[in-house]
Structures are given as structure tokens and as C-alpha cells.
Structure 1
Amino acid sequence: MKTACGGASWYSLRSRTASGEMMNPAAMTAAHKTLPLGSKVKVTNLKNNRSIVVTINDRGPFIKGRLIDLSKGAARQLDFVHSGVARVQIESVDGSGTKSCA
């Protein structure tokens, strides 16, 4: 996967994810439209440079301009729960083929 930059939001549901597991708002998980379920990506908040690794376990986001939907726990770690959205960079955890976003 190449590096991608875009909008991130967070969600906190109590339902099943696309992977079949129950959504855990405290877990380090995320929804992405096309990345394989179970894959891990590093997500960096471009405003404060905080980074975490999340597991893709759901599909989405379904709002134009959004790249990824994070669990509330992941958004808390990246410090954007209050704002609701952030500009982020996502990249594969092995760092292959990455370049930073402007």
C-alpha cells in the first residue's frame, strides 16, 4: 500500500463489523473502503504527529472526502475526539513504498 492522506472521523457503535466481530469502541480498529480486513496500518494525525497502528475490521467511511473511520479509542489516542475529524496519513506498518503527505 502506498501512503495516503485524507480525512478521518471516528465512530462508536455496538454492532457487528464487516469482519463479523463486535465493534469495540475502545479497540485500535478502523473502517476502510478497500484495504483487506485484518490488515494493519499506521495512522498519523498530521496536526500533532501522533501515530498509532490500527487493524482494519470494518468497511467505510461513507462520507465524501473521508479516508478512514477510526474507533473512538483510536481517535482518543490521536487526540481528535472533540473535533470529530482530523487530517491523517495512513501507511502500511512495514513502511514499504511510503512517502509523507504535504
Structure 2
Amino acid sequence: MRYPVLFIVSLLLLILAGCASQGELDEAAIMRIPDAVPKFEPLAKSGNPESYVVLGQRYFTQKSARGHVERGQASWYGRPFHGRQTSSGEIYDMYAMSAAHKTLPLPTYVRVTNLENGRSIIVRLNDRGPFHADRVIDLSYTAAVKLGLKRSGTALVEVRTVEPKRPVWDVLAGRD
């Protein structure tokens, strides 16, 4: 049972990789890319300093993302950053369900809801930004397409942290 699932997932990844090498994926293919799945992960070794300065502004990295909710403008970043290193040390993939945030710990999973059309997605924060005063999150190209803000460039959104579900063996063992 497990092998057919792995085969199908591998085949899908090969197809997507082939499409990406031919140029940008079309919006129909992008809409089939699944949301990020929250899971427990250690904090990134880079990207989580106590504070950092960009364009003369000091930002303080939050110690915890628990219960974080904010509203503001979302924007997106794509091709010029594709393949470059993110603040967390990972390579930016414009086709991943990822995003950048100024202060939440990396990685953190958040639900982003476009308040203008009601669409909602889950992304994994792995980068810092956006460094524009009126913006709260910078989405990957795929996340922007799925939220319906690719063409407009920005939209009013709500950003809400999503806690990973604890594995049943941790609950049974009494671990937090």
C-alpha cells in the first residue's frame, strides 16, 4: 500500500520538475500544488537572530509564534529570487508553499486568508521580509496564485499561526 503512494508522489514531483524546467507552470498546475503540511521542526540555525537591521530598521525575532494573528497587506516574490538562498539557509523555490515574515520564528506554519476573496492557504515561513512598512507577509509565487493576488500584486490578508498536530505517541508519553 505504501509503495504505490510513494510511486505516485514521485511521479508527480518528476512531472512538476519537468514542467518547471520548460518554464513557468500554468495556473491550473499551480492550483494542484498542495498546501504546506504543518509538522514539528527545530528552529532554523540561521534566520532567527535575536534582532537584525534592514534598511536602517531594527526587527526583533519572536521567540514563539503561538497564537499569532495579524492583518495587513500581503505581497509576493518570484522569478528574480528563485534559486537564491533564504534567511533560513534554504533555497527559495517559487513553486513551494512558502513565505517570508519579518519577525516570526523560522520555520513557522501560518494560514493566510485573502480577506478580499475568502481564499485561504497554509504556507511555511522560511525567509525574512517583506521590508515595506505596510506589508506583513511576502508569499511565494505559487501561494500568491492560489490566494488570487498574483495579478494585483498585493491584497489585504489575515495571517494566523497553525500549530502542528502532536503525534499520538507524544501525547501518550506525556511529552509537550
Give the match for residue 98 of structure 1: none
Question: What's the CA shift for 1:2?
Answer: 2.9
Query: Which is richer in helix?
Result: 2
Instruction: Write the letter of the residue equivalent to 2:73.
Output: G
Partner of 2:113: 44
Work out which of the residue numbers 57, 63, 67 in structure 1 matches 2:136.
67
Matches within 5 A, 1:1-102: 1-12=67-78, 13-14=81-82, 15-94=84-163
| RMSD, matched Cα | 0.8
Larger RCO (alpha carbons 8 Å, 6+ apart): 1
Amino acid at match of 1:8: A
Structure with the higher fraction of residues in strand conformation: 1
Give the distance between the partners of 2:112 and 2:141, measured in 1 at CA: 14
Q: Please state how far the C-alpha of 1:78 moved relative to its aligned partner.
A: 0.1
| Alpha-carbon separation, structure 1, partners of 2:69 and 2:107 | 18
Cα shift at 1:60: 0.4
- SS of residue paired to 1:75: helix
| Cα distance in 2 for residues equivalent to 1:69 and 1:2 | 17
2:5 aligned partner: none
Name the CA distance, whole Å, in 1 between partners of 2:106 and 2:117.
27
For 1:7-42, what per-residue CA distance to the aligned partner results, in whole angstroms no more than 9, with x for missing partners? 000001121001111100011000001111111000
Moved over 4 A (4+): none
CA distance in 2, matches of 1:11, 1:29: 10
Identity of counterpart residues, as a percentage? Answer: 51
Structure 2 regions of 5+ residues with no counterpart?
1-66, 164-176
Structure 1 runs not aligned, ≥5 long: 95-102
User: 1:18 is matched by which residue type in structure 2?
Assistant: S
Distance 1:74 1:51 in 2: 10
- Report how many residues are paired: 94
CA-CA distance at 1:92 after TM superposition: 1.4
